[in-house]
Amino acid sequence: MDERDSSESPIQGKKSNSKTARKPKETVLKQKSPAEFFAENKNIAGFDNPGKSLYTTVRELVENALDSAESISKLPVVEVTIEEIKKSKFNSMIGLVDRERVDAALYDDYETEKAREKRLAKEARTQEIQAKNATLGKKVKETPASKGIKGRGEASFYRVTCKDNGKGMPHDDIPNMFGRVLSGTKYGLKQTRGKFGLGAKMALIWSKMSTGLPIEISSSMENQTYITFCRLDIDIHKNIPHVHLHEKRENKEFWHGAEIQVVIEGNWTTYRSKILHYMRQMAVITPYAQFQFKFVSDAPDKNVTVRFARRTDVMPPIPLETKHHPSSVDLLLIKRLITETSKQNLLQFLQHEFVNISKPHAERLIGEMGPDFSSKMAVKSLTSQQVVRIHQLFRQAKFDDPSGHCLSPAGEYNLRLGIIKELNPDMVATYSGSAQVFEGHPFIVEAGVSIGGKDVKQGLNIFRFANRIPLLFEQGADVVTRTALKRINWSNYKINQMQDKIGVFVSIVSTKIPFKGTGKEYIGDDITEIASAVKYAIQQCCIQLKSKIVKRIQAREQQERKRNLSRYIPDAAGAVYNVLKDMTQLHSSKKSRYGDDDDAELLRKVSEKLITKETLIEKLAKHVEQVDYEMAMEYATHSGVSEEPREPIYIQSLEAPNKTIDLHAPFFVFRVLQ
């Protein structure tokens, strides 16, 4: 070793040692649990801010409640309550004693003396200007109340409760169902409202982040003699439930369903309209459900109670789980299916793990794969290269499109009922398309278009649904919005896009909704199959409305024509009657001119006052009515407008079913209760 190396100064040696000591810290491998990841990236699940978090919590709990009731074919009854909790009450809930401020300058809403003087001077100038305007007789604007700076510590807290009549949850599964992220019962290829097992778990994570309070669950299954009560929170770092209390209680009323209660930070003021709008749209797409929403506050004038009544007992079918279409799978999915399959050979694997592959088709596919493949080869023995070959063939080969039997759309009947129930429009048209396919996934588009209605603004009012869930955010980039605004020529259908109150309702259901962005709030406009289906569905509704609008225009023109004719009947009748009176005088002096013909008979009746002015008015009115009717019928015949077929309408009781007797008439049916 060189002396210069050996004679290195101690200081230099310490520096080199410190550098080598830091290297392991920089290369330490860390791992996050799913719960920790979503806690740090809560915007992915819709928990961007306190207001959005309150909205998303309500939404997730309501959708879980609907899924639970529909899974056992029960007509859903969902009760949602949001209770405002003041800061003092929240502090008492967590055992914290309120403390007065000591150093006011520490707080965000502290106002310096200089800022206070500036504010007061500005208010004084404003008052002086208003006084001058009042003296001159000008209109005086009200001075807005000065708002103090809201400190970050002044959060608003709410207790959200959602109760349903669904199937409930097994006693032992509740901790993992609520305390373990990415665990759930909705995995698999089928149409579902939720997919990732986040819903209520994200509400619990947000509760833990904003209030530190646990979630409370009460649940009971059908024919269960007890109610499970569970109070728990979640260990963010380990992604496991932390159970405070888990016990069985007596079920005296034999109730079944679930009741979930969580206390979170929120903002009701800014998201009030969004939450109520969501509930209203949910009532449109699920008219077979009964919703009751309450907002409870210490201030009575802020309380809100809204009940969305059930209007039908016809429920859509339960969506069925289906198998993957060959054109929609990737390498990872093929490998997972190979690992999980119970089939032994390749032929059975292709037949039973994929849709639209029959035995002859599977044999042809295996023959196309090459000499290394055979029908009886063990599927578990496939190499990575062979799996790639299968995947390549799946992408290139031709397969029949999957059917839509696994899907559960709302149905035209329910969609129409929901629109009529909530909007009460002047006219409405609905359309339900047949199943179509994109990337191997079936989808169905349903649409409704309404004209007029209560609480509907002028112009286009667009309502979007995906797998029977209302979509309220990021509307501008959605395929439905773009189609309604840019691809539909409303004037072709006698609809004024700017002045008429137009409601556009589009519901898309699929085993895979192609959402854009992390918030899953809109469907992209780049999928041609979906964009074309949406446009066609809206156009079909518009065609139906056009015939109704044309009929209404004809009726209006007929009324106007009749009104114009009727307006001149008294004057015309008076003029004719005066002429006839003058002619009777001539007739008496020149009898030979008229003889005994019909004219003479008419003049005789006028002279004897058998025909008066009132008689002529009556006859002219009947003639106008007859001519108007004949002209309208002739116009309708030439226009190809025919009378709509009559259908029996049954008005069903919303209460418990009763024995009835049906009395049929040509246009309707009377149902008499026994």
* 520 known ligand binder: yes
195 is in an annotated binding site: yes
Q: Is 459 annotated as a binding residue?
A: no
The string of pLDDT tens digits covering residues 483-507 is 999 999 999 999 998 999 999 999 9
Q: Residue 81 has what pLDDT?
A: 96
H or E element, residue 261: strand 257-266
- In angstroms, the CA 284 to CA 415 distance is 7
Rounded-to-10 torsion of CA 144, 149, 152, 158? -30
Distance (Å, whole) CA 468 – CA 506:
10
Determine whether the annotation assigns residue 201 to a binding site: yes
Q: What's the pLDDT at 92?
A: 80
Measured distance CA(447)–CA(463) in Å, rounded: 10
Paired tokens of 489: 């020529």
Beta-ladder partners of 501: 459
> How far is the C-alpha of 373 from the C-alpha of 365, rounded, in Å?
10
Three-state secondary structure call for residue 611: coil
Instruction: State residue 21's pLDDT score.
Output: 53
- Answer yes or no: is 163 a known binding residue: no
pLDDT of residue 4: 47
Q: What is the pLDDT of residue 565?
A: 72
Closest among 601, 62, 427, 515 to 279, alpha carbons compared: 62
Low-confidence ranges of the chain (pLDDT < 70): 1-28, 139-154, 183-188, 194-198, 518-519, 585-599, 608, 628, 631-660, 662-674
Is 114 annotated for ligand binding? no
- Binding site annotation covers 185? yes
> 519 vs 52, 312, 539, CA distance in Å?
11, 32, 29
**Which tokens go with 478?**
């959605």
Quickly name the fold that domain 331-396 has: Helicase, Ruva Protein; domain 3 (1.10.8)
Binding site annotation covers 138?
no
The confidence score (pLDDT) of residue 598 equals 66
Number of residues in the chain: 674
Helices (H), 180-257: 199-210
For residue 373, the model assigns a pLDDT of 87
Tens digit of each residue's pLDDT (9 = 90 or more) over 85-115 = 988 888 888 878 777 777 777 877 777 778 8
Tell me whether residue 64 is annotated as binding. Answer: yes
pLDDT of residue 7: 43
CATH of domain 424-589+599-641: 3.30.230.10
Question: Is 74 annotated among the ligand-binding residues?
Answer: no
Q: Where are the domains of the chain?
A: 34-91+155-308, 331-396, 424-589+599-641
Q: Is residue 591 part of an annotated ligand binding site?
A: no
Give 380-408 pLDDT, tens digit per residue: 888 899 999 999 998 888 888 888 888 88
What SS3 class is residue 86? coil
- CA–CA separation, 291 and 184 (whole Å): 25
Decide if domain 34-91+155-308 falls under CATH 2.102.10.10.
Answer: no
Predicted confidence at residue 511, as pLDDT, reads 87
Using one digit for the tens of pLDDT, what is the confidence trace for 565-584?
A: 777 778 777 787 777 777 77
Q: Which two tokens stand for residue 567?
A: 């307006």
Q: What is the DSSP code (8-state) at residue 403?
A: P
- Residues 6 or more apart whose CB falls under 8 angstroms from that of 29 comprise none
Six token digits for residue 287: 């008219």
Contact predicate 63/199, CB 8 Å: yes
